[in-house]
Structure 1
Amino acid sequence: MPTPGGYALVHDRTIVAERRTCRFSWVLVDSGNNINILYRDTMTQLGIEATHLQPTRMLFHDIVSGLSCSPVDRIRLDVLLGTNDHFRRGPIWFEVVDLSSPYHVLLGRPALAKFMAVPHYAYLKMKLPGPKGLITVVGDYKKSLECAKAGSKMAESLVVTEERRQSTGS
């Protein structure tokens, strides 16, 4: 790893919905975030319809610097952490947002607290108690780099679009 501590913790994760169970490869663990986010594209991949969502009053800021966002609604889904023979499964509340992102899901402090998980960003690992002892979830710094590049391009295009909108007075 060229720059220890310089990468986001990105790993594969299985999310369980009523109709489908999917393994997503770009799941971001962000202990600095006070919400769990499910992006609308991911919701569609899971076969979740808007009728399954519950109302929310959440508002959050600075996903893109200076911009605010309101989630569409929220949903409770099961998340699996670990391997096929040693894992934990638990329900997590996600705020569903209608934003583009290179990530499929963002797991914030509420998910980490639910699983009693401790991320270590220098080693791109997360540890949590499991039924057979300690579970170690390992991130991938190459995926982290890919996500960072894709996220930078998206953020840049959103900022440019917002600046154009403000300059034209729309």
Structure 2
Amino acid sequence: MPNPGGYALILDPTIVVPRRTCKFSRVLVDGGSSINILYRDTLTKLGLEAKDLEPTRTIFHGIVPGLSCSLIGRIRLDVLFGDSSHFRHEPIWFEVVDLSSAYHALLGWPTLAKFMAAPHYAYLKMKLPGPKGLITVTGDYRKSLDCARDGAKLAESLVVAEERCQLDWIVALAQEASAAQVPAKEPADEAAFKPSKETKKVKLNPEDPSCSKYVIVGTRLDSK
């Protein structure tokens, strides 16, 4: 690896459900997460639906920057590490979230505790005890780079979409405010200035024949 310790640990466990068994290639192991997350697309790939979920009240932060996220349910699935010659599986509770992601699922420290697994992020390996001895699962830094790249593109598109929604909201508010404005009526004050109908032009300088400047005065004014 060009940069040991600079990549996420991406593994490919097998998830078993009654109707099918799927081996997922993009499962993030995050020892800092207190929950296991399954994304809705992965739920569909397993042939499961929302009716197969149990209700949950869990609310968590960190997936959507600055925002909390409510889950659509939770489900317990069998997760398997190893191969046909030597493997181990355990039932794992997943919180199911309706979000787009570069990963199929996220395994937090509850999964690591369940398997008694020890991840090594420098070597991108995870070791866990199995029925025949130690099981070593190895990741690939190239896959980690691909997931990081896809995640960055997805995050950028989500930010652009959010900014577009905010812009549309601001434009809609401006249009509503413009439509609600009523032209102000002129004050009906008797003291308001109204030009007299009986007016005449008076040259500013009567002694200068070339003067072209005039003022308009009322005809009823005194000649002085």
TM-score range, shorter chain: over 0.9
Shift of residue 92, structure 1, vs aligned partner: 0.2
The normalised TM-score by structure 1 is 0.95
What is the alpha-carbon distance in structure 2 between the residues aligned to residue 77 and residue 92 of structure 1? Answer: 5
Q: Which residues of structure 1 form unaligned runs of 5+?
A: none
- Which residues in structure 2 correspond to 1:29-44 (within 5 Å)? 29-44=29-44
Q: How many residues were matched structurally?
A: 170
Q: Which residue number corresponds to residue 117 of structure 1?
A: 117
SS at match of 2:163: helix
What is the alpha-carbon distance in structure 2 between the residues aligned to residue 58 and residue 82 of structure 1? Answer: 31
Matched, 1:139 2:145: no
Deviations 1:92-132 (A, max 9, x none): 00011111111111111111110011111000000111111
Structure whose CA Rg is larger: 2
Q: More deviation in 18-27 or 62-71?
A: 62-71
The normalised TM-score by structure 2 is 0.73
Indicate the structure whose relative CO is greater, using CA pairs within 8 Å and at least 6 residues apart.
1
Shift of residue 169, structure 1, vs aligned partner: 3.6
Structure number having the greater strand percentage: 1
Q: State percent identity of aligned pairs.
A: 72
Q: Which residue number corresponds to residue 87 of structure 1?
A: 87
Structure 1 residue runs of 4 or more that deviate by more than 4 Å after TM superposition: none
Shift of residue 161, structure 1, vs aligned partner: 2.1
Q: Which residues of structure 2 form unaligned runs of 5+?
A: 171-224
The one-letter code matched in structure 2 to 1:149 is R
Q: Which residue number corresponds to residue 164 of structure 1?
A: 164
Deviations 1:126-165 (A, max 9, x none): 0111111111110111110000000111112222222333
Deviations 1:59-80 (A, max 9, x none): 1112132122111100000000
